[in-house]
Amino acid sequence: MIDTHQHLLDPKHFNYAWAKDFPVLQGELGLEQYRAASAGCGIEGTVFMEVDVDDAQSNNEARYFCELAEDPSNGILGVVAAGRPEQEGFEAYIDRIAHPKLKGIRRVLHTQPDAVSQSSRFRENLRALGGCGLSFDLCVLERQLHLAVDLVDACPDVTFILDHCGVPDIAANSPDPWKIQISQLALRTNVVCKVSGISVYASKSQRTAQGLFPWFVHVLEAFGWGRLLWGGDWPVCTLAVPFACWVSVTHDLLDLAKASPSERQAFLKDNAKRIYRL
């Protein structure tokens, strides 16, 4: 398996203001702790995902983890760095953090006003990623999925990776509005979907393969096996379940979907290699 959504928190080097209210996200949560959490889970490599550090530290976070990725023993195959496409100087920022291990950019949008992703500057800067060979991880709430459709339409040459299945409100058990927007987004062939983090949005009783299957099967039907990736979302996943539990649920979901060996291989590894250019 390739984990396409690995967060590593290093409070000695970086500040994580957003994490202060979550006790399980305090302290050192780096490679050593990730290895312990994922032991026996079959993880062959990872994609480090930016952790929304304070803005002034984004440069350093990108460089730090790209340098860690240079050492094969760390298992980091690629890095998705933070970016602020709404700001002037975005292209110069991309030039500063350029590195062979840099594979994409993410701007967490679900914590921002909806207007951020709709500005002409944001879209113009995002379009530049296509020419740089970088993808964009799309992190939006369910209610923002229609805005994501608009953004994707404005940037047809950029590969978009929808994080966390578009953050469905699984606990509310009202999937229809989410399903409609996911189906619309999936019509855009430059969008793929990452199955990650969804246990966090489910109630305790739903954190099983049976409970999550209706949401998994919809993204499968919408995107197909060739446009789905898997992500662990550690350590954020531990707000709901341990990493090993999420891995086990993932295999159970594949069993329920009657995935063939080649479909499993695509979902758990091959698509990640192709889409993130690992």
pLDDT-flagged residues of the chain (< 50): none
The pLDDT of residue 55: 86
The pLDDT of residue 54: 87
Distant-in-sequence, close-in-space partners of 119: CB < 8 Å, separation ≥ 6: 86
CATH class of 2-275: alpha beta
Tens of pLDDT along 75-88? 999 999 999 999 99
Q: What are phi and psi of 119, to 5 degrees?
A: -75, 155
Question: Taken in order 139, 193, 182, 245, is the CA torsion positive or negative?
Answer: negative
Domain spans, the chain: 2-275
- 238 closest CA partner among 10, 95, 63, 25: 25
H/E element holding 213?
helix 209-223
Q: What are phi and psi of 187, to 5 degrees?
A: -65, -20
Question: Taken in order 179, 123, 106, 268, is the CA torsion positive or negative?
Answer: positive
What the block records as the tokens of 41 is: 């889970």
CA separation for the pair 196, 234 (Å, rounded): 10
CA separation for the pair 31, 237 (Å, rounded): 16
Rama region for 75: left / alpha / beta (φ>0; ψ in -120 to 50; rest): left
Cis, peptide link before residue 235, omega less than 30° from 0: yes
DSSP state, residue 177: H
Question: Taken in order 251, 255, 257, 262, is the CA torsion positive or negative?
Answer: positive
**Mean of pLDDT over the chain:** 96
β-pair type (2-6, 135-139) = unpaired
Tens of pLDDT along 85-144? 999 999 999 999 999 999 999 999 988 999 999 999 999 999 999 999 999 999 999 999
Give the residues across from 230 on adjacent strands: 195
